[in-house]
Amino acid sequence: MKPSKSKQLDTLERAFARAHAFRGAPVFSQPWRDGVMRDIRLDAGREQTLLELPNAIWRAAAVVALVSAVFVGSALTWNAGQTDFSALFTMATADSTLMSGAP
């Protein structure tokens, strides 16, 4: 007859508990432990600065700025022949497909 799952789990738990108690804690020198605790206290006490943001965020911000600059530059050169932007706004508001989202 096969023992029940709970009995197997109890046996396994007791075996792990004995192995853990037998193993003991690793030995580290007192200066090393003091240094680790000092570093933990220093890191916990200081605030995060903007320079610590991940590089991916800075790269994404740079790409957005570059795309925005290209868009603004193209809008300015597209309408360079006119002194005001009223024609651009008139065309954008007169085109019904821009407002409705229809293809």
Q: Are 80 and 74 in contact (CB under 8 A)?
A: no
Integer CA distances (angstroms), 15 to 9, 20, 102, in order:
10, 9, 69
Residue partners of 89: CB distance under 8 A and separation at least 6: none
CA 88 to chain centre: 39
Q: Please give the radius of gyration of the chain, using alpha carbons only, rounded to the nearest integer.
A: 33
- Put simply, whether the predicted model's pTM sits higher than 0.85 gets the answer no
CA dist., res. 101 & res. 49, Å (int): 42
**39-84 residue pLDDT tens:** 888 887 776 666 666 777 888 999 999 999 998 888 777 755 555 6
